[in-house]
Structure 1
Amino acid sequence: MMRRATATATVPAIALALVALLPGGVATAHGGGETLYATKTPYRPQQDARTYQRVPAGFVPVFTENVSRHGSRAATSGEDGELVLALLAKAGADGALTSAGKAFGAEVQGLLDAMAKVGYGELSGRGKQELRDTAARLRKRLPALFGAMPAKNERIDVVSSGKGRAVDSGTEFTKALVAADPALGPLVGPARTDADLLYFHKSAGGAAYRDYLANDQRLAATLKKIREQPRTDAAARSMLRKLFSASFVNRMTAADRVAAAEAVYSLYAIAPSMSAEGDWHMDRYIDSRDASWFGYLDDAESFYEAGPGFNDSDITYRMADVLLDDLFRQVEAKKAGTSEFGAVLRFTHAEEIMPLAALMKLPGSERPASPSRPYTYADNVWRGSSVAPMASNIQWDVFRKGSTYLVRMLYNEKETAFKAGCRPVSRGSFFYNLDELERCFDRAKAAR
């Protein structure tokens, strides 16, 4: 989620800035459990389905629903790549490139060409496969549910934020379901858009949140304090020294070094998402220790802007109420006999998954930070790579026996307990009575 000071500038402006302030016409643009790619981490399921707990005796699956982030994608623009290419070109003209720097330009250009072909911000080949594979595992997990849906004429509702990569994720997901069982085809409803539900951080319900991002001085001061630690410039120097001569790097200001290093890191972080389009070797040019530091900076921004945030405020996640309410509403409609759906499939973005995880207190998202003690990897387990990687998902499977309904939650396909205070049907079980979840989440109060 990095929002660098250069992010609002055009690529030519950035390139000119990087080529103007150093001697000779070189310019700069002002501007415990470590993870390398933060929220750009490609998806993988977190548990083998063969190890899931057995469904309690007599219960049959009657409904399933999800909230899924879109799959792996290209970068949203070519800005970082163009910035790096401009800097490499200037250094080359000055004779200031290392052997690695000389090779890095071709790697960057190849990645940019591949992303332009895919479409900036659009699903990559890997992203499409992530969604297809998740759909296949869903159907395999609940064969009785999907097998009974055609005879019961229960529909599959598909809803997204309306953004291209989310819409396409829904398409890939449902195509995989239908490919495995063509009888499901007529049940897949026309895909619909609900930005209030699945893009709430930019919708009317997120107005206070957007004001927090733009104007909260404590947020700005905390992120500035984290970003301006000495290690940031040290990591930037280390990263850039692999590509450029020491004198070239030394002539840059600290802010310009960090801006350039962040651009390099962003290319490093997005490359795994583009693995179907090319064989990239970013790890040849970037030390994992430096990448980990910039991954931490990215995680810190996500933590305070869309995760648990400060321990005296819920501004970063209370707007996710609309999504949690819909999860409950769909299950309650199934129990009441008023639902026409056998499955409800939602496709959204990291900016929705992270606050929903914080609101639900999912593993890793239970602990906000004290204003006096900023978030670090050492004292907080929150990681973008596990909370909201590409194609991350929260799934609720619903089972019925008579008038009793049980809910099992999977978080990135791992059986996951509901928050503290919610009692499962038995000690250690991942199955919860719907009535108990309504009590635990105070649904009676929410309905008023």
Structure 2
Amino acid sequence: MRRVTPALATAGLAALLATAAVPAQAVPEQRSDRTGYGTKAPYEPEQNPRTYQKAPAGFVPVLTENVSRHGSRAATDSEDGDLVLALVAKAEAADALTAKGRAFGPKVRALQAAMSGVGYGDLSGRGKEELRDTAGRLAQRLPGLFATIARKNEKIDVVSSGQGRAVDSANVYAGTLAEKDPELKPLIGATRTDVDLLYFHKAAGGKAYRDYIANDQRLASTLKSITDQPRTHSAAHSVLRKLFRPAFLATLSTDDQVAAAQAVYNLYAIAPAMAQESPGGRGWGLERFISRRDADWFGYLSDAEDFYEKGPGFADSDITYRMAEVLLDDFFEKAEAKRAGTSDLGAELRFTHAEEIIPLAALMGLPGSTRGVTASKPYTYADNAWRGSEVAPLGANIQWDVYRKGGTYLVRMLYNEKETAFRAGCVPVSKGSKFYDLNELERCFGRTANR
């Protein structure tokens, strides 16, 4: 989440005056206990596999392909903990800590040490477990496919963004498949890197996007108007008064209070991902130090930033998700090659980041990612379904299973392991079915001319 600084507080003032203010009543309306964690929410499968639809009679699986966000991880750096600990030390010297403040410092130091031990930005124990469990469920869902892959010596291709946590996720996932069925081990290729495909926001195809993030005044002023609300200031004060005495708080500027409260929230949000590294594996207990209401508000601010910078964003622009076309194209190309008989691939396994999952979800029109907003009616929980914890939690995944009967190929999509309809306008093979003819998906996504 972008920190509030004096520079940010004054940037784009002229544009801000022209931007509609966020409604004062735009307080988060929660849909689940995980919403307040935003995209740091640990992974949970969204559907019981016993309730999956069966493929139409005579169809057998011939290919599975996915894209997965890396699993739960440590924070990417120590900045939040360092900020909080510096403030705690200053308050301690002034005898300005509350009882909770005195307890909070050791908790943060222990969490920092655990994250440093794991490696900042690297997979935690929970993250590795998420990937093992997801791979295990894949093997259980499609036993016939993996038996066919082994019998025909088909390939299992594994590709990542090249970033450490994505590479590690790929290796854990593929390793689990090999453990489940040793006959698959020689068929699983070494994890390869494709930056253009799976780190596109930093690759050549993301140049226009990066310019938008750095220079778009409407984006900057909108995010400022959302963050710089009285509710943010009151939530920040509410967080910090649990830790620091009033006289000490009075020495901090409004912006400094918001930045410090955001740091407390960020530690709270990452703590569940590090649960296995906590004493006794029982969790860090940081919910003692921030109320659910305040965490929900800072979770909303984090979601707003992700919505505008990576998700559906402004309704009159596709700059945040246009670059995900390279990844959607790859999904189609793998299915089309199977249909054409030019591929000996049995599984395509891709591992990436929220910066790729979120735009892909918007491009595909997946649930919660179907509607952008206008400058006059900004993003709020009250009137937009987008939630980071549901769109791209840690370990989020999108999977296509391809089935064949004769010359007909069907596709079933799972989104975080939930059977999910393709976007509006795509017609399934029968009413209520989650299976779609590949020809129909090509028509629906405008790929007919590519055949």
TM-score by length of 1: 0.93
Aligned positions of 1:331-410 closer than 5 A: 331-410=335-414
Q: Distance in 2 between matches of 1:255 and 1:311?
A: 30
Q: Distance in 1 between matches of 2:4 and 2:127?
A: 29
1:33 aligns with 2:37: no
How far off is 1:398 after superposition? 0.6
Q: Distance in 1 between matches of 2:249 and 2:324?
A: 44
Which residue does the alignment assign to 1:128? 128
- Provide Cα deviations, 1:251-286, integer angstroms capped at 9, x if missing partner: 211100000001111100000000110130001111
1:165 aligns with 2:170: no
Aligned positions of 1:12-411 closer than 5 A: 32-33=29-30, 35-278=35-278, 279-411=283-415
Contact 1:360 1:419 in 2 (8 A): yes
Q: Distance in 2 between matches of 1:404 and 1:361?
A: 25
Corresponding residue SS for 1:397: strand
Q: Distance in 2 between matches of 1:139 and 1:397?
A: 12
Contact 2:42 2:395 in 1 (8 A): yes
Q: Distance in 2 between matches of 1:143 and 1:323?
A: 26
Q: Distance in 1 between matches of 2:48 and 2:276?
A: 24
Q: Distance in 2 between matches of 1:399 and 1:212?
A: 40
- Provide Cα deviations, 1:156-202, integer angstroms capped at 9, x if missing partner: 00000000000000000011111111010000011110000000000
Gaps of 5+ in 2: 8-28
Q: Distance in 1 between matches of 2:343 and 2:236?
A: 55
Q: Aligned partner of 1:41: which letter?
A: A
Q: Distance in 1 between matches of 2:127 and 2:295?
A: 22
Contact 1:409 1:416 in 2 (8 A): yes
Contact 2:4 2:258 in 1 (8 A): no
Q: Distance in 2 between matches of 1:406 and 1:167?
A: 30
Corresponding residue SS for 2:276: coil
Contact 1:405 1:434 in 2 (8 A): yes
Gaps of 5+ in 1: 9-31
Q: Identify which range, 383-392 or 275-284, moves more after superposition.
A: 275-284
Which residue does the alignment assign to 1:17? none
Which residue does the alignment assign to 1:4? 3
Q: Distance in 2 between matches of 1:356 and 1:285?
A: 35
Corresponding residue SS for 1:421: coil
Q: Distance in 1 between matches of 2:155 and 2:48?
A: 28
- Provide Cα deviations, 1:347-387, integer angstroms capped at 9, x if missing partner: 00000000000000000000101111110000101000000
Q: Aligned partner of 1:100: which letter?
A: K
Q: Aligned partner of 1:131: which letter?
A: L
Corresponding residue SS for 1:201: coil
Q: Distance in 1 between matches of 2:393 and 2:92?
A: 36
Q: Aligned partner of 1:398: which letter?
A: V
Q: Aligned partner of 2:2: which letter?
A: R
Q: Aligned partner of 2:309: which letter?
A: E
Q: Distance in 2 between matches of 1:139 and 1:285?
A: 41
TM-score by length of 2: 0.92
Q: Distance in 2 between matches of 1:307 and 1:328?
A: 22
Q: Distance in 2 between matches of 1:407 and 1:444?
A: 16
Contact 2:403 2:409 in 1 (8 A): yes
Which residue does the alignment assign to 2:26? none
Q: Aligned partner of 1:160: which letter?
A: S
- Provide Cα deviations, 1:75-111, integer angstroms capped at 9, x if missing partner: 0001110110110011011111000000001100010
How far off is 1:346 after superposition? 0.2
Q: Distance in 2 between matches of 1:248 and 1:268?
A: 22
Q: Aligned partner of 2:415: which letter?
A: Y
- Provide Cα deviations, 1:112-150, integer angstroms capped at 9, x if missing partner: 000000000000000000000000000000000001111
Q: Identify which range, 301-310 or 275-284, moves more after superposition.
A: 275-284
Aligned residues: 423
Contact 2:4 2:255 in 1 (8 A): no
Which residue does the alignment assign to 1:14? none
Q: Distance in 1 between matches of 2:358 and 2:117?
A: 29
How far off is 1:5 after superposition? 5.1
- Provide Cα deviations, 1:376-426, integer angstroms capped at 9, x if missing partner: 000101000000000000000011000000000000000000000000000
Contact 1:311 1:371 in 2 (8 A): no
Q: Aligned partner of 1:290: which letter?
A: D
Q: Aligned partner of 2:144: which letter?
A: A
How far off is 1:444 after superposition? 2.8
Q: 1:421 aligns with which of 421, 425, 431?
A: 425
Q: Distance in 1 between matches of 2:253 and 2:344?
A: 61
How far off is 1:210 after superposition? 0.3
Corresponding residue SS for 2:36: coil
Q: Distance in 2 between matches of 1:216 and 1:126?
A: 37
How far off is 1:250 after superposition? 2.2
Corresponding residue SS for 2:201: helix
Q: Distance in 1 between matches of 2:247 and 2:72?
A: 38
